[in-house]
Amino acid sequence: MHFDDWLAVLTALRDKREPCILLTLLEEKGSVPRASGTKMVVTARETFLTIGGGNLEHQCIQIARDMLAQRETRPRSEPFQLGARAGQCCGGMLTALFEPLLRPQPEVVVFGAGHVGRALVNLLSTLPLRITWVDEREGEFSDVPAGVVTQHAEEPLDAVAQSAPGAFFVVMTHSHPRDLELTEAILRRGDAKYVGLIGSQTKRQRFDYRLSGKGISEAQLARLRCPAGLPDVKGKLPAEIAVAIAGEIIAVYQGDA
């Protein structure tokens, strides 16, 4: 994305439900790289606009990302002396205001855009979640709910590596071999908050055997939910399966809260 307007940036991030820090320069004295009121926006992975570059901007980005990582919700301000010791030749002084916007929401990555995947994403999109929907097949995404990020990925494993720590994963692709390699990659990360795999108890036993042969420990396998979903919610219709899985995800993130 390319923006030259901070309001447009915030609007786009709000639509994606992505937390960010709005950074504003205040109280300038002497020579500074940008005037008071200059803004930039920082997310966990991206930055938008600039407050002048250099070491000042680098330090501010690090502070903003630390705030995001710590899930801070209160604004804070930091003074900066822009001398040679700080790596800035301006020589002035300024204060930077850091404002957290959009409370961090759990990230859910759904692999598979079949009937159940579509029903699940439609349901999850009504909850306070950040949703990434991944499928390697072209033309599978239709009627994508607002706020849902889609990835047509030739290599879905990349989406596992790119996901944030503590993400929720649901694996329900069109291919059992693909399900297996995704499940292995997610379990190897070791930091997933939830790992759900669609399938029967027979599939679970088969996957446990194969994953054990690949070096996945019993402790790692114990984190896998397969069959995914609340056991008391029964049924084989896509909507019924989606409700069971969504209910399990809600139980996990509400328990954390």
Give the domain ranges of the chain. 6-101, 107-256
pLDDT by residue (tens digit) across 164-174? Answer: 889 999 999 99
Least confident of 63-67, 89-93, 140-144, 210-214: 89-93
Both structure tokens of 157: 């494993």
Give the residue among 185, 171, 156, 187 at the shortest CA–CA distance from 226.
171
Q: Please list the residues that pair with 107 across neighbouring strands.
A: 130
Quote the pTM value.
0.71
Least confident of 34-38, 113-117, 120-124, 153-157: 34-38
Crossing angle between the packed helical segments 238-256 and 115-124, to the nearest 10 degrees:
40
Q: Indicate left, alpha or beta for 101 from its phi (over 0: left) and psi (-120 to 50: alpha).
A: beta
Cβ–Cβ under 8 Å, residues 63 and 41? no
User: CA dihedral defined by 23, 193, 1, 141, rounded to 10 degrees?
Assistant: -150
Least confident of 15-24, 221-230, 239-248: 15-24
In this prediction, residue 152 carries a pLDDT of: 87
In this prediction, residue 28 carries a pLDDT of: 66
Residue indicated by tokens 């938008």: 48
What is the CATH T-level fold of the domain 107-256, as seen in this structure?
Answer: Rossmann fold (3.40.50)
Cβ–Cβ under 8 Å, residues 196 and 169? yes
How is residue 145 annotated by DSSP? P
Strand 149-152 to 130-135 pairing: parallel
In this prediction, residue 85 carries a pLDDT of: 45
Mean pLDDT across the chain: 89
